[in-house]
Amino acid sequence: MEQPNLSYINSMSGGDKAFEKKLIDIIKGEFPKEKDVYFKNVAAENYKLTADNVHKLKHKISILGLEKSYDVAVNYENNLINGNTNGRIEFESILQIITDFLETL
């Protein structure tokens, strides 16, 4: 499975380390909260809200350079909108990979 990276953040920053740190800090602050809300909604089988959570999370997936994982998130979001959870296990493994990556920063 692909691994998160900071390539996109680095390309956006133009070498501005303060900007990079600020963006990383925002992601590190928002991601755990968004992930917790996702797990609460999926446990409650509220698939509409879960799809909204996946929509928010997929932007962080993209920022962290996970192109294939972004496609997984898009498919999972569409499945949730249609009332099924196909793709859940793969999506949640992506969340864990991101969690582990953010802990190293």
User: In the structure, what pLDDT confidence band is assigned to residue 79 with cuts at 50, 70 and 90?
Assistant: very high
Would residue 33 count as lying in a domain? yes
Q: Domain count of the chain? A: 1
| Burial track 39-56 (b if 16+ CB lie within 10 A, e otherwise) | eebbeeeebebbbbbbee
Find tokens 């969690």 and name the residue.
Answer: 99
- Compute the distance between CA of residue 9 and CA of residue 13 in angstroms, rounded to an integer: 6
- Residues 98-102 have a mean pLDDT of 98
Would residue 89 count as lying in a domain? yes
pTM for this entry: 0.94
pLDDT for the residue 2: 92
Would residue 2 count as lying in a domain? no
- Residues 35-60 have a mean pLDDT of 97
User: In the structure, what pLDDT confidence band is assigned to residue 35 with cuts at 50, 70 and 90?
Assistant: very high
For 57, the domain range is 7-104
Would residue 1 count as lying in a domain? no
Is residue 1 predicted with pLDDT exceeding 90?
Answer: no
